[in-house]
Amino acid sequence: MPSNIYAVIMAGGSGTRFWPLSRRITPKQVLAINGPRTMMQETFDRLEDLIPPEKTYIVTNEEQVKFIAPQLPQLSTDNFILEPVGRNTAPCIGLAATHIYNHDPNGIMVVLPADHLIRNKSAFQNIVKTAINFIEEHDALVTIGIKPTRPETGYGYIQFKTADKNAPEPVHEVVAFAEKPDQKTAELFLQSGDFYWNSGMFIWRASRILSEMEEYLPEQYAQLQKIAAFLNKNKYQQKLIKHYQIIRPISIDYGIMEVTSSPIFMIEGNFDWSDVGSWDELYRISQKDRDGNVLIGETLTIDSENNYIYSPGKLTAVIGLNDILVVNTPTATLICPFNRAQSVKEVVEKLEKDKRDEYL
């Protein structure tokens, strides 16, 4: 791989749809939700032999770094970019781009969420290599799209067309980004064949995304430039706190990808992918017993099928229930039908409103 490739792993989210297992300081990316390794570790492992540890940056916060850093002993403190407050993905990516550009004005960023499941490591790495080769020739904005297998309403979508004949075969020009659709629209997207799931993974030069922010997010860009002026200086932390907290939160999709006039390209992610964004999605990808149940911990079921029951440390018995989710932790228990799993974040919102912070 070229020496100017850097990984940026976004690890500052709170994982509200995985409550009560996922909490503010221990969100899903620091938990071993789908195997012995945490999702953060699995994301880092996926970059092995592709991008060296010293060129891998983790964007997180002061609370979560206490859990993440021990999981990644290969990294030094210089590999962690700490946000003083969460400001969504555009400022997060912009801050990382500022650091990379300061170190290497020609640097290419491979931007990855910390909480995705990808089972085919070699296929993933080949896609990243294709993107990097394309960017070296075209200096483009590139994203990775996933071919949909169902009319999913929990994902955003990318509409694409075939790229020019000189582009590598899996590269397509993006027509539009679409937000999470309703069920009917998701079915139309699936039937059309020219919509892919938006994976939230991006590859581009640090200079290019900063240029896009200068044009389309000028207020955020101005604050990032004020921070950049103090990189590697004694007052960096002070200036970071001052300027970052007044940045308006906005996602990279809303702020750049949906509004830019620059061409965007999508590469097909031909690997088994899930953002494991909710309990029902985790059930879908988990190994099940002969009754369709996923049972973790001390559990007992009678005449019950197609359930996800999580109960380490104490017995949970379920009788005569189907298609339900039970998550039993020492301080909180969640019970709901699978068709309401996307509503778990409403519990978190209610707890926040009621200031019941001990459960967050």
Confidence (pTM)? 0.91
Same domain membership, residue 354 and residue 229: no
pLDDT in tens, 263-298: 999 999 999 999 888 898 899 989 999 999 999 999
CATH of the domain at 9: 3.90.550.10
Same domain membership, residue 309 and residue 269: no
Q: Is the pLDDT of residue 189 over 70?
A: yes
Q: Is the pLDDT of residue 97 over 70?
A: yes
pLDDT in tens, 42-69: 999 999 999 999 999 999 999 999 999 9
User: Looking at residue 169, what is its pLDDT?
Assistant: 64
Same domain membership, residue 147 and residue 191: yes
What is the band of 98 on the pLDDT scale with cuts at 50, 70, 90? very high
R_g of the chain, CA atoms, integer Å = 21
Which of 260, 277, 294 is the endpoint of a domain?
Answer: 277
User: Looking at residue 286, what is its pLDDT?
Assistant: 92
Number of domains in the chain: 2
pLDDT in tens, 12-52: 877 678 899 998 888 889 988 878 899 999 999 999 999 99
How big is the CA angle at 58 (ends 231 and 274), to the nearest 5 degrees?
145
Which of 277, 308, 334 is the endpoint of a domain?
Answer: 277
Average pLDDT, the chain: 93
Same domain membership, residue 72 and residue 138: yes
Same domain membership, residue 142 and residue 104: yes
Same domain membership, residue 315 and residue 260: no
CA atoms within 13 A on the CB side of 317: 2
Same domain membership, residue 204 and residue 72: yes
Same domain membership, residue 140 and residue 108: yes
User: Looking at residue 275, what is its pLDDT?
Assistant: 87
pLDDT in tens, 197-241: 999 999 999 999 999 999 999 999 999 999 999 999 999 999 999
User: Looking at residue 34, what is its pLDDT?
Assistant: 77
Q: Is the pLDDT of residue 164 over 70?
A: no
Same domain membership, residue 295 and residue 178: no
Higher pLDDT, 87 or 161: 87
What is the band of 167 on the pLDDT scale with cuts at 50, 70, 90? low
Q: Is the pLDDT of residue 104 over 60?
A: yes
The lowest-confidence range among 34-38, 172-176, 205-209, 309-313 is 34-38
Same domain membership, residue 55 and residue 168: yes
User: Looking at residue 166, what is its pLDDT?
Assistant: 58
- Which residues, listed in sequence order, are joined to residue 309 by a DSSP beta bridge? 295, 326
What mean pLDDT comes out for the span 313-332? 96
Q: Is the pLDDT of residue 163 over 70?
A: no
Q: Is the pLDDT of residue 319 over 90?
A: yes
Task: Find the domain containing 123 and state its range.
Answer: 5-277
Same domain membership, residue 310 and residue 165: no
Which of 249, 277, 305 is the endpoint of a domain?
Answer: 277
Same domain membership, residue 185 and residue 88: yes
Omega before 36 within 30 of 0, i.e. cis: no
How far, CA to CA in Å, does 142 sit from each of 115, 135, 136, 145, 204?
A: 20, 8, 11, 10, 6
What mean pLDDT comes out for the span 332-341? 94
**Using H for helix, E for strand and C for coil, what is the string for the chain?**
CCCCEEEEEECCCCCHHHCCCCCCCCCHHHCCCCCCCCHHHHHHHCCCCCCCHHHEEEEEEHHHHHHHHHHCCCCCHHHEEEECCCCCHHHHHHHHHHHHHHHCCCCEEEEEECCCEECCHHHHHHHHHHHHHHHHHHCCEEEEEECCCCCCCCCCEEEEEECCCCCCCCEEEEEEEECCCCHHHHHHHHHHCCEEEEEEEEEEEHHHHHHHHHHHCHHHHHHHHHHHCCCCCCCHHHHHHHHHCCCCCCCHHHHHHCCCCCCEEEEECCCCEECCCCHHHHHHHCCCCCCCCEEEEEEEEECCECCEEEEEEEEEEEECCECEEEEECCCCEEEEEHHHHHHHHHHHHHHHHCCCHHHC
User: Looking at residue 200, what is its pLDDT?
Assistant: 96
